[in-house]
Structure 1
Amino acid sequence: MSSNRKISKEEYQKLADKHEKKRPIVKNCMIAFFVGGTISLIGQVISFIYIYFFDFSEQTVGDPTVATLIFITMLLTGFGVYDKIAQFSGAGTAVPVTGFGNAVISAAIEHRTEGFVQGVGGNMFKLAGSVILFGVFSAFVIALTKTILIQMGVI
């Protein structure tokens, strides 16, 4: 015969904590650090390639490098490779540029059955839209702050 005894939230939490699998936090942080660093290293290599082979300057190489990283991420996401890398490395793939590319293409792939306009076009920037919005807003705040500091003679 089973008992219908109710347990308190504290008792339940203790029981849940007792059976919870401990996560290897240090190991996960190291993996995320090295994968994120590798992605950044790949971005730096792409920058060097654009500088030395395509005659870009250090000031103008940023845009094509970012576009290339986003394109590579979208290809890897489309082929299912990026998701495996993300599952292995956790936050390591959340480097802003590659995370953005993954968010855009994932939404597009998920909603492709709804058609190109309402499915792909209507949904691919839902998640990425907040990234764009807050990125532009942050850039505005930083530019405004820098302008004020320059006018005050601080920098």
Structure 2
Amino acid sequence: MDKNYKKYVEEKSPKPTYAKNYILAFIVGGIICVIGQGINDFYMNFVGLGKLDAAGATSITLIFIGALLTGLGVYDLIGKRAGAGSAIPITGFANSIVSPAMEFKREGYVLGVGANLFKIAGPVLVYGIGSSILCGFIYYIFNLIK
């Protein structure tokens, strides 16, 4: 009976369209990157930021846009169509932080979403800051040895 059921499930399950998924992921990921480059160029050419400052401002802007679109429910719709194309860029990071916090929306935006947003983002930030300190320390030690 187990083999028959497995065969039945395989027959009835929709076949994934790999080529379509790859193309959509490539296109959507590319569009997100083009938007990011446009934001970066805006900061450099119109705001007058240097290359490094513009890169930081672009990252912050893309994270904000990703979080905002997640809060509005738009980013999840993009993710359903684009798959990894929406998950890999920096906007996917914002989506992965905000999405779980949105489950607490019924408890209110401050005590529900806000409190849980920092619970979820906290470990990510601690790991990021801690690993950057460790890498900086290793870099410093190697420069002392030279």
Band the TM-score falls in, shorter-chain normalisation: 0.7 to 0.9
Question: In the alignment, which residue of structure 1 is the partner of 2:107?
Answer: 114
Higher Cα Rg: structure 1 or 2? 1
- Partner SS state of residue 21, structure 1: coil
Indicate how the Cα distance of structure 1 residues 134 and 92 shifts in structure 2: closer, same or farther if over 3 A, else same: farther
Name the residue aligned to 2:46: 53
Q: Is the 8 A contact 2:40 2:58 kept in 1?
A: yes
Q: Distance in 1 between matches of 2:141 and 2:79?
A: 40
Match of 2:58, as an amino acid? T
Q: Secondary structure at the match of 1:27?
A: helix
Structure having the higher helix fraction is: 2
Q: Gaps (5+ residues) in structure 2?
A: none
Percent same amino acid at aligned positions? Answer: 40
* Structure 2 CA distance for aligned equivalents of residues 85 and 13 of structure 1: 32
Q: CA–CA distance in 2 between the matches of 1:85 and 1:126? A: 25
Task: Determine the structure 2 residue equivalent to 1:24.
Answer: 17
Preserved CA contact (<8 Å) 1:108 1:120: yes
Matched, 1:95 2:83: no
> 1:103–1:128: 8 Å Cα contact kept in structure 2?
no
Question: In angstroms, what is the RMSD of aligned CA positions?
Answer: 2.7
For residues 147 and 26 of structure 1, the distance between their equivalents in structure 2, rounded to whole angstroms, comes to: 46
Match of 1:73 among 66, 87, 110: 66
CA distance in 1, matches of 2:46, 2:135: 33
Gaps of 5+ in 1: 1-6
